[in-house]
Amino acid sequence: MTSPAFLLGPLAAASCPVKTQNSFNPLLEYARTGRPPVSSLAGETHRTQVFEYLIARHGDLVRDLRGVVDSQARAKACLKAMGDGVAIILDAELPPDYDNHRSGVADVLLRSEDETQVGYYPALIRSHNILAGISEGEDAQLVSCLAKPFKDDAHREGFRYRGNTQSADMLHLAHLWYLLNAAGFASQPWAANIGLDQYHPGHCCAIAWVDLRAKQLRAFSHTADQRWKKYAPLSRYQHEHRFRVRVATHALAQTHPEDPAELVASPVKIDECATCEWWPSCEPHLVDDISVKIERSPLDAREIMSLRTLGVSTIADLADADLETLLPSYLPMVSHRSGAETRLRLAAHRGRLMVEGVSLERLTTGEIEMPSAPVEIDIDIETSASNYAYLWGFLVHDTRTGSPPTYHCVSQFTEMTPRRELKLADEAARWLKALVDSLGDVPVVVWHYSNYETLTINRLARVGGFGALAWLQGYVQKSFVDLLPVVRQHFFGVDGLGLKVVASSGAGFSWRDVDPSGLNSQTWAHDAIHAPTVELRQAAKRRTLEYNEDDVRATWALRNWMRTLT
């Protein structure tokens, strides 16, 4: 098949091949959702700050191409800047390489001072950290900084590049290097990544230099004994790029929407789908697919494709599969994953429960033993998006009185600071201490769900560990009990064992809010402070408080239900 003229951007090699397939399928031209691509304001801000620093610091050495709006004109301007030997080129649109189907923009081009091969190194600007500390025996990373950005300025520092976690960046850089090579301006196969890491505390951003020939990307291998090996970014990129060229070529030749034989890639639901404009085109083909149905401990794309090769595609297929017969063929195909057999058995377990319509399975028989006390308190701490504890909720149940449990909270709906957070924590600790002291020798158990509350208390006590907070840190060891390990011992949840799942499926508890979640509560807490009207702020505050109260009532209801089981 003759390959038609088309161009792939630098993100294609690291993203889902079905996205490339759909983008070039003429029969899906009107299937796009119109969903705008996800952009990061923080990322754009960081990029602009890096640009402005380079301009201010290096002046005439910089040529800024951001003002050239037209793509073709900017590529010509970039070509001219490289021909002129400009040291630093910003927002550099590289000349397209139609022979190899590549196009792309380098955030920065840095001129090589290597006399043996004068050219340019591509650099990306990323709004995340790209460096980590090194362990004994690891090689130190080659690092420069914005003040001295060139490779000749770089030297070995006590960092390592987060190579495997930044594999998409490496493939992106390899794409740009090949574009430079096609234009005749590539230097040695090195590239640079500019993240949020500071060269030294209080100094400008570090620039991590990446050898694109060094084998540092772990990927599946059909030939290696352990079914994976490390690849150099250049070779791994070429493999991924060639596959997407084949995908795009076949997609452009598509003549009938119902003929999958003409297509190369099959959709699998992955994290990328959540923000992909093509998801509505893929979703109808995955109604009962394992990748859609198994959301807790999901199988990865290679595991899903391996199961499909063996005739297991839907949740019903998985539920009916004889694993003992399947595993000898399956495991060699997925040996890139540690614990592959356990992962498949767990997925199959979930699949069988789904088919049976069971969401929560009891793993044990008999009564469930749990601590008890005349006074039981449930606690739930809400934390803002900035990780400040702004709401402490308590549900107090004095079983001696026969009265229903009562809710009490300590909260502050204002912009939190470390000092305010500590003051609020101290207030909550003093309230709980006063209650415990008032009970004298009456035993008390304080229940929480997961270790988040105890971790938060210990974190705050380490900072302001005196008075009531110091007492609370000690009281955690004496009287706090985590309900989640008890649940894990006795239950298996199709959708996990989060409080929302277990309390609703098991105890039949329901939250007043239509969409209760800790993440949503952070939005409500923000609105309780920043909403434009008093009415909206009050409504958001009320919604947050009701959610917190329902959380502690849910742990109370769940515990009482578990005590009825025999």
Three-class SS of 32-88: CCCCCCCCCHHHHHHHHHHHHHHHHHHHHHEEECCCCCCHHHHHHHHHHHHHCCCCE
pLDDT at 163: 56
| Pairing label, strands 141-145, 131-133 | unpaired
pLDDT digits (tens, 9 = 90+) for 523-556: 999 999 999 999 999 999 999 999 999 999 999 9
Give the other-Cβ count within 10 Å of 87's Cβ: 18
**In which residue are the tokens 């009825």 written?**
564
Q: How many Å separate Cα 41 from the centre of its chain?
A: 17
Range in 24-28, 484-488, 511-515 the model is least confident about: 24-28
pLDDT digits (tens, 9 = 90+) for 141-179: 889 999 999 999 888 877 777 755 578 899 999 999 999
pLDDT at 31 over 50: no
pLDDT digits (tens, 9 = 90+) for 333-375: 888 788 999 999 999 999 999 999 999 999 999 999 999 999 9
CA-nearest of 298, 307, 340, 337 to 219 is: 337
| Pairing label, strands 131-133, 159-161 | antiparallel
Q: How confident is the model at residue 253 (pLDDT cuts 50, 70, 90)?
A: confident
CB 104 within 8 A of CB 9: yes
Range in 127-136, 286-295, 403-412, 468-477 the model is least confident about: 127-136
Instruction: For residues 417-438, give the mean pLDDT.
Output: 96
Percent of the chain with pLDDT over 70: 92
pLDDT at 116: 60
Question: pTM of the full predicted structure?
Answer: 0.73
**What is the SS3 assignment for 514?**
coil
d(CA 56, CA 146) in angstroms, rounded, equals 11
d(CA 410, CA 306) in angstroms, rounded, equals 52
Distances (CA, A) of 10 to 103, 144, 325, 511: 7, 24, 42, 45
Distances (CA, A) of 302 to 133, 298, 340: 31, 12, 11
Helix H or strand E segment including 107? strand 102-111
Instruction: For residues 242-251, give the mean pLDDT.
Output: 93
pLDDT digits (tens, 9 = 90+) for 36-74: 444 455 678 889 999 999 999 999 999 999 999 899 999
d(CA 173, CA 189) in angstroms, rounded, equals 10
For the chain, the residue count is 566
Per-residue tokens: 265: 């890639």
Per-residue tokens: 494: 């199709």
pLDDT at 84: 93
Instruction: For residues 488-496, give the mean pLDDT.
Output: 95
d(CA 196, CA 160) in angstroms, rounded, equals 15
**In which residue are the tokens 């990865």 written?**
300
pLDDT at 181 over 90: yes
Q: How confident is the model at residue 30 (pLDDT cuts 50, 70, 90)?
A: very low
Comparing 279 with 136, which gets the higher pLDDT?
279
pLDDT at 254: 77
Per-residue tokens: 289: 């697919």
Give the other-Cβ count within 10 Å of 458's Cβ: 14
d(CA 87, CA 119) in angstroms, rounded, equals 10
- Compute the mean pLDDT over every residue in the chain, rounded to the nearest whole number: 89
Q: What's 375-564's CATH class?
A: alpha beta
Helix H or strand E segment including 191? strand 190-198
pLDDT digits (tens, 9 = 90+) for 509-520: 999 999 998 889
pLDDT at 337: 84
Per-residue tokens: 18: 């079905």
Distances (CA, A) of 516 to 300, 497, 499, 552, 557: 28, 16, 11, 13, 17
Burial class for 132, CB neighbours closer than 10 Å (0-12, 13-18, 19+)? middle
409 half-sphere exposure, CB direction, 13 A CA radius: 23
Per-residue tokens: 515: 């969409």
CA-nearest of 247, 241, 278 to 263 is: 247
Q: How confident is the model at residue 223 (pLDDT cuts 50, 70, 90)?
A: low
Dihedral angle sign, alpha carbons of residues 256, 261, 265, 268: positive
Instruction: For residues 440-458, give the mean pLDDT.
Output: 96
Instruction: For residues 288-300, give the mean pLDDT.
Output: 93
